Structure formats: C-alpha cells, structure tokens
Amino acid sequence: MPTPTGTGTGTRRREQPAVRRTQILDGAERAFVDRGIDASMAEVAEVAGVAKGTVYLYFASKAELLAELRSRYLERFVETVGRALGELAEPTAATAIGAFAACLFDWSQAHYSLHHVLFHEAGVSEDDAFERGRALIAELVRHGVESGELHSVDPDLTAQFLFDGLHGILVATMQPPEPDRPRFDRAVAELVPRTLGVALS
C-alpha cells in the first residue's frame, strides 16, 4: 500500500523525540511519586522503559527533569481550568472563579502525591508552586472589573486575597483523613461572593 503523503519514515523520525520525551516524563512522574524526590535517573529510566543514557539525551540533570515536570504539571492545570471555563453556561467572573475553585480542589486531590514531590520535597516555594493559579485568578478579576461586573479599587490585591483564601480552605479541607469536598464547596459559595460583592450560582 502506498505511504500517505507526509507520513513517511522522515515524519516518524521527527515525531519520535517528542514521543520519547513524553515517555520519559511520564515515567519520571511515576518514579518520583512511588519513590520520592530521591529517585535516581536510573530508576526514572527503568520505570520509563528506556536506557539511562536516553534520559540524559533529553535532560542533562535530575534538576532539569524536575523543572520540566513542574512546568508540565502547571500547564496541565491551566488547561484543565480552561476546559472548565469553556463549559460554563453563564461565563461571568463569579461563575468562572467558582469553576476555578472546583478545579483547584479536584486537581489537588487527584495529584496530591505528585504536587508534594515536585514542590514540597523539591523545596520549591509556595509562590512558585501557585504562580499560574494566581495569574489565572488575577485575569478573571481584571476581566470582571473591565466588563463592569465587579468593582474593585485594586483588582490585583482582590485576586491575591481570593487565591490565598481559596488555598487556605483547600488546605483545611484536604488535610483530614478524607478530603471534604462538600465543606470546601460551602466555604467557596459563602466567601467568594462576599469578596466579589456578587451572587455565585
């Protein structure tokens, strides 16, 4: 059978590095979650199913590998929030921040062990860990102010207050033996509208 245009061996070779890089990152996630921050590059290679030398072709050091994992982790969170915002029936600033809060809880619960390794065990500050989340909240607040939906003398500080508050109740409701999502939702439904001065449906 003739090879379709653009899908010959040359194209496969160009795609292979990206596929292999993803394979290594996926393996590294599993290795670090299972074995902690002390997992070696050899253990990463073993879990990823590649040679140790192959890992070093893509990542010069474990620090570089961890940095890439953190970047991918945060980018995937942003994409998750983006999908949730795109599904809103009434995309206002208030409903968007409510959707962000729900994503924050679900994402944190689903990736608790990975987050702990990539940020806490690695000694990365909370500011760095949540930089993208803070930026998202700030964008939502500024958009609400610009549209006239929200009123704030300092949108950036309002966003900072909101995010720190959401993080605080997240920590409080994620720490018990079982995560308490209903308690988190009740707090969001009560406190976010008070901060914004609007109703949160």
Q: pLDDT by residue (tens digit) across 147-175?
A: 999 998 999 999 999 999 999 999 999 97
Contact 70, 119 (CB under 8 A): yes
pLDDT above 90: residue 144: yes
Q: What is the pLDDT of residue 116?
A: 92
Tell me: do 188 and 116 sit in the same domain. Answer: yes
Length of the chain: 201
What is the spatial distance between Cα 111 and Cα 170, in angstroms, rounded to a whole number?
14
| Residue 173 counted as domain residue | yes
User: Mean per-residue pLDDT for 186-196?
Assistant: 92
CA gap 29, 47 in Å, rounded? 9
Q: Using pLDDT thresholds of 50, 70 and 90, give the confidence band for residue 13.
A: very low
Q: Mark 34-67 as b/e (b = at least 16 C-beta within 10 Å).
A: eeeeebebebbbbbbebeeeebeebbeebeebbe
- Domain of 15, CATH number, reads 1.10.10.60
80 with 54, same domain?
no
Where is average pLDDT lowest: 41-45, 69-73, 80-84, 127-131? 127-131
Do 38 and 74 reside in the same domain of the chain?
Answer: no
Containing domain of residue 36, as a range?
A: 1-60
What pTM was computed for the model?
0.84
Q: Is the pLDDT of residue 12 over 60?
A: no
pLDDT(90) > 90: no
Query: What pLDDT sits at residue 114?
Result: 95
- CA pair distance 63, 122, nearest whole angstrom: 9
In sequence order, the 6+-apart residues with CB closer than 8 A to the CB of 13 are: none
Mean pLDDT of the chain: 89
Same domain, 87 and 20: no
Please identify, among 60, 88, 109, the residue that sits at the C-terminal boundary of a domain: 60
Number of compact structural domains in the chain: 2
